[in-house]
Amino acid sequence: MIKKIKTFVIVIILLVGSVSFTDNYFEIAKNLDIFTTVYRELNNFYVDETDPGKLMKTAIDKMLKSLDPYTNYIPESEIEDFKFMTTGQYGGIGAVITKRDDFVYINEPYKGSPAQKAGLMAGDKILRIDGVDAKGKTTEEVSKVLKGQPNTDVKLLIERPYVTESFEVSFKRKKISVKSVPYYSYLSDNIGYIKLRSFTRDCSKDVRNALVDLKEKGDLKGLILDLRNNPGGLLNESVDIVNLFVEKGEEVVSTRGKIESWSKIYKASKAPLDLEIPIAVLINQSSASASEIVAGSIQDLDRGIVIGKRSYGKGLVQQTKKLSYNSQLKLTVAKYYIPSGRCIQALDYSNRNKDGSVGKIPDSLMTAFKTKNGRTVFDGGGIQPDIETKEEEVSNLIISLVRERLFFDYATLYRYQNSNLRNDSNFRFSDDDFVFFEEFLSDKSYDYKTETEKAFEALKKKSEKESYFNLIEQEYTLLYNEFELNKKNDLVRNKDVIQEILSQEISGRYFYQEGEIRAALTFDNDVKKAIDYLSDSDLYDEILTSID
């Protein structure tokens, strides 16, 4: 009990800082005493048994939640997951898992992992782990069992679709390293492409190695750096990546915090790898933190163009502090500012609304800044791309097929029926394949309502309420039946999207993450737009030199 209270006191001290602690000593001491008293009374007299550790975790989490979403208490039980986020490494079998009904399934084994080498495939159902029934277990519970020290044994009982009997697979856990750069290649017209998944330790070296390899293999005339869906990570890695393309000594990002030691300027500290090659950075609404530092710095320094959708808007810096009993505190210590001087933080957590919610900074209150060439850019809401691409609408049919896992299940069937993939390096789901997919869906349930259908229902309810429906019932019925007849053609109307999704899903069954990315590039409008600009120097230069 006392040890738990001491942990809580340490958290409080770290949050308020040494200066504030001195100035507000009485207020802190008073509230700690109150908290300790409440904690003791609960433990002694509450009607049911309490879990001291759970109570303390709840108290800490609630306290930190009032600050911002990125300040978190990490107990010892979650340290390994936290390390994985920063290093991309863990001990385990090397597979993504997912829950379906009462069981956990293999969603994707990593290429070269123990799971893949042992023959596990996407779609495999885990029945038992080391003799223990896996039915009813959550993905978190199964994940904890599958992870472990390298070279320790694990035995799984697997049920595979279209295979009559279940079977056992035994192998050793290994140190799993998830690649920060899962794919890079030449696309067309000597344009190179590098996909960066996250900013884990040494990811800048992986980007450098990919860039050097592209240069050695061909005449690189333009580079696409894909940061879409990249949540960020280590700040120093983002600085080193920008450093590949800008002069030594160039300011990349600065941080400003309450404590002077947290206010720093980060400059390119090494000789660049390339100062001339045209660059297009791809971002979207899920590009955050370190991704925004790279995209924003490239934009502010006019070193390249940014294409896609407005980024997430996370301009807060976290630092990890070690606590007692192998726990840690990840807390926000500063805001970061890219070279133009702007901070792209979208939400102001220090000024909440009366209901506790946090609003985005309105466009009218955003401040204008200038890039190196004098272009106007704005703060307060993520990185606005130089070339903004449209958000593609997803039909309710597609949402329903994804929700029911029918794309996944068809890819499982396809893999079972085809030991090899035609056109290995450039597979595309064909029109003939589409016919088989329609047959596959013929006995499957994937109910969905279109917006038109919802409008029909609303019209009927309102007209009945106002006693008009009997006047329009005949016309309504004729129109609704016509709509239902046309709804049956929704699969054909969504054929292009279905072909895109299944090209990726099926390619992934044979070539894992690399295959999925390679297949997706064939349909990628952001990539096509980037190629257009990188292949036309006039278009590219016009973006970087246009001054408002």
pLDDT tens per residue, range 332-390:
999 999 999 999 898 888 777 777 777 777 777 788 999 999 999 998 789 999 999 99
Task: Output the pLDDT for position 21.
Answer: 47
The verdict on residue 139 lying in a domain is yes
pLDDT of residue 42: 86
Tally the domains of the chain: 5
Residue 322 and residue 404 share a domain:
no
- CATH number at 324 reads 3.90.226.10
Which pLDDT belongs to residue 222? 97
Q: Does residue 80 belong to any structural domain of this protein?
A: no
Residues 329, 340 share a domain: yes
> Quick one: 233 and 276 in the same domain?
yes
Query: Has residue 7 been placed in a domain?
Result: yes
Q: Confidence class of residue 485 from pLDDT cuts 50, 70 and 90?
A: low
Tell me which of 157, 177, 197 is where a domain ends: 177
Give yes or no: residues 200 and 269 share one domain. yes
For residues 342 and 417, membership in a common domain is answered with: no
pLDDT attached to residue 115: 96
385 and 460 both lie in a single domain: no
Element (H, E) at 93: none
CA distance 279 to 294: 12
Give the mean model confidence (pLDDT) for residues 58-65: 89
Residue that is written with structure tokens 């109150």 in the block: 34
Q: DSSP states of 106-147 as a string?
A: EEEEPTTSHHHHTT--TT-EEEEETTEE-TT--HHHHHHHH-
Whether the predicted pLDDT of 271 surpasses 90: yes
Same domain, 163 and 189: no
Q: Concatenated DSSP letters for 259-319?
A: SGGG-EEEE--S--S-SSS-EEEEE-TT--THHHHHHHHHHHTTSSEEEES------EEEE
The answer on 170 and 140 residing in a single domain is: yes
- Structural domain of 474: 451-487
Averaged pLDDT for residues 84-113: 92
pLDDT at residue 16 greater than cutoff 70: no
Task: Give percent above pLDDT 70 in the chain.
Answer: 94
CB 282 within 8 A of CB 193: no
If asked whether residues 28 and 106 sit together in one domain, one would say no
- Which residues fall within 8 angstroms of residue 387, CB to CB, at 6 or more apart? 305, 306, 307, 529, 533, 543
Helix (H, G, I), strand (E, B) or coil at 432: helix
Active site residues: 289, 300, 314
Q: Residue 458 CB: number of other CB atoms within 10 A?
A: 10
Looking at the DSSP bridge assignments, the partners of residue 306 are 281
Of residues 185 and 22, more confidence is placed in 185
Rounded CA-CA distance 325/313 in Å is 34
Residue, of 56 and 273, whose pLDDT is higher:
273
The residue-averaged pLDDT of 128-140 equals 96
Q: Which helix (H) or strand (E) holds 191?
A: strand 191-195
Q: How far is CA 526 from CA 191, 226, 281, 320, in A?
A: 14, 10, 10, 36
The three-class DSSP label of residue 75 is coil
* pLDDT tens digits along 408-444: 999 999 999 998 887 677 899 999 999 999 999 989 8
- Asked if residue 219 has pLDDT above 50, the reply is yes
Q: Taking the complete model, does pTM exceed 0.75, yes or no?
A: yes
Higher pLDDT, 419 or 227: 227
In this prediction, residue 488 carries a pLDDT of 73
pLDDT tier for residue 19 given thresholds of 50, 70 and 90: very low
Same domain, 353 and 383: yes
Q: Is residue 71 part of a domain?
A: no
Sign of CA dihedral 191, 196, 199, 202: negative
Among candidate residues 230, 287, 233, the one with its CA nearest the CA of residue 84: 233
* Mean pLDDT, residues 457-486: 81
Q: Do 471 and 405 belong together in one domain?
A: no
Share of the chain above pLDDT 90, in %: 63
DSSP class of residue 424? Answer: G
Determine the straight-line distance between the first and last CA of the chain, rounded to whole angstroms: 63
pLDDT band at 23 (very low <50, low <70, confident <90, very high): low
Residue 249 sits in the same domain as residue 370: yes
pLDDT tens for residues 186-209?
A: 998 799 999 999 999 999 999 999
Lowest mean pLDDT: which of 91-105, 124-138, 239-253, 468-482?
Answer: 468-482
Distance CA 240, CA 246 (A): 10
What value does the mean pLDDT take over residues 178-185? 95
Residue 444 domain flag: yes
Given this model, what pLDDT does residue 406 score? 96
Contact of 203 with 172, CB cutoff 8 Å: no
Q: Let me know: does 194 contact 276? Beta carbons within 8 Å.
A: no
Helix, strand counts (H, E) of the chain: 18, 21
Residue range 313-324, pLDDT digits in tens: 999 999 889 988
d(CA 269, CA 267): 6
